Amino acid sequence: MERIGFIGVGEISKAMVEGLSDGTQEAPPISLSPRNAATAADLAERFPNALVRKDNQEVVDHSDIVLIALRRADRHDALAGLRISAEKTIVNVIPGVAADELRRLLGTDAPIVAAIPLPTVRERGSVTVIYPAHPVAEAFFDRLGGAQPVPDETAYNVLSAVSSTVSTYLAYLGALADWAARNGVPQEAADRYVRSLFQGVNRSLGEESKPLQAIAAEHETPGGSNERIRTTWFDQANGAALGTALDGLLADLEQPH
Ligand SMILES: NC(=O)C1=CN([C@@H]2O[C@H](COP(=O)(O)OP(=O)(O)OC[C@H]3O[C@@H](n4cnc5c(N)ncnc54)[C@H](OP(=O)(O)O)[C@@H]3O)[C@@H](O)[C@H]2O)C=CC1
């Protein structure tokens, strides 16, 4: 079985380790980098297949697949001087760090695959976008809910920008609950109702043969109150502002750093 190593053991690595290890029949051997010792030690204690290594090079040496899950600013400090031989596979989850840059930094001939895992890989509940298609990376993310290879780097960056809207979506739900609370509904009841409302709505996303805009239309009566909020709040100016924010992020992701 392929051995997996994590350089950077923060939130997203934790989710991947849990998804690979929790309640699975055949959990792969996992090596964890030692920094963020509390999270690494917690994972190693919970999962017998996971071990904390003494340094990042040891993680690489004990792995067939090396996950790079660092904050962008830490990449030079963490990766300079690491030796990764050509038969290993590198999976990079740092947004906006192109394969060419990583290859120069690491001085390696190993294949480099970029990936956008979401925290729900913890429950093996989301598909991970990868670029380029690569059988080892695909098999890895199949263990975590599935892999979705995209044909080019632009498509990868576009979907990376789209996946950066999740906290905005959740903050929007929070704003609805807060508005209800300001208008007299106890906060707990408002939170509970908003959660239940959108959990129900999100289930309708499972109808994959239906376009998203058709699902939206089904939740709206012509002349009704859903239409009123959409057209008065999510109006042209608001839709255009969203497009501008995404365009700006995409330009940043596409620019070499
Ligand atoms: N969280 C998410 O949902 C997603 C995140 N990403 C991307 O993945 C990357 C990691 O994100 P996330 O897990 O949230 O970030 P975290 O900050 O939670 O984790 C990054 C980890 O890297 C560690 N680190 C820093 N320097 C080194 C080093 N020299 N050697 C080894 N480890 C080091 C940090 O340790 P310390 O805390 O001690 O500094 C920290 O634990 C980011 O680039 C992010 O944009 C991608 C998809 C989804």
Atom of ligand 1 nearest to the CA of 33: 31
C-alpha 113 – ligand 1 centre gap (Å):
17
Whether residues 142 and 196 share a domain: the answer is: no
Q: Whose CA is nearest to atom 23 of ligand 1?
A: 8
Report whether 56 belongs to an annotated binding site: yes
Half-sphere exposure for 33 (CA within 13 Å, toward CB): 19
Q: Which CATH number does the domain housing residue 230 bear? A: 1.10.3730
ipTM for the predicted complex comes to 0.98
C-alpha 103 – ligand 1 centre gap (Å):
19
Q: What is the best residue among 17, 35, 157 to mutate for testing ligand 1's pocket, by most ligand atoms within 8 Å of CB?
A: 35
Atom of ligand 1 nearest to the CA of 94: 43
Write down the pLDDT at residue 208. 86
Write down the pLDDT at residue 191. 98
Write down the pLDDT at residue 196. 97
Whether residues 8 and 135 share a domain: the answer is: yes
Q: Is the CB of 102 under 6 A from ligand 1?
A: no
Query: Residue 249 is which amino acid?
Result: L
Average pLDDT of each block of 10 consecutive residues along the chain (257 residues)? Answer: 96 97 93 95 97 98 98 94 97 92 95 96 95 97 97 94 95 98 98 96 89 94 96 96 97 82
Whether residues 139 and 170 share a domain: the answer is: no
Write down the pLDDT at residue 257. 62
Write down the pLDDT at residue 85. 97
Q: Is the CB of 253 under 6 A from ligand 1?
A: no
Does residue 247 fall inside a structural domain? yes
Q: Is 217 helix (H, G, I), strand (E, B) or coil?
A: helix
Atom of ligand 1 nearest to the CA of 117: 47
Q: Is the CB of 55 under 6 A from ligand 1?
A: no
Whether residues 126 and 172 share a domain: the answer is: no
Domain that holds residue 73: 4-150
C-alpha 202 – ligand 1 centre gap (Å):
29
Residue 100 burial (CB < 10 Å; 0-12/13-18/19+)? exposed
Whether residues 187 and 93 share a domain: the answer is: no
C-alpha 203 – ligand 1 centre gap (Å):
31
Whether residues 142 and 179 share a domain: the answer is: no
What is the rounded distance in angstroms from the CA atom of residue 65 to the CA atom of residue 80? 18
Q: Is the CB of 10 under 6 A from ligand 1?
A: yes
47 near 22, Cβ under 8 Å?
yes
Q: Which residues pair with 167 in a beta bridge?
A: none
> Can you list the alpha helix ranges (DSSP code H) found in 204-235?
212-218, 225-232
Whether residues 146 and 190 share a domain: the answer is: no
The total of other beta-carbon atoms located within 10 Å of residue 157's CB is 23
Domain count of the fold of the chain: 2
Q: Is the CB of 108 under 6 A from ligand 1?
A: no
Q: What is the best residue among 52, 68, 71 to mutate for testing ligand 1's pocket, by most ligand atoms within 8 Å of CB?
A: 71
Q: Is the CB of 74 under 6 A from ligand 1?
A: yes
Q: DSSP letter at 93? A: -
Q: CA 91 → CA 68, 102, 115, 214, distances in Å? A: 6, 11, 7, 36
Whether residues 36 and 74 share a domain: the answer is: yes
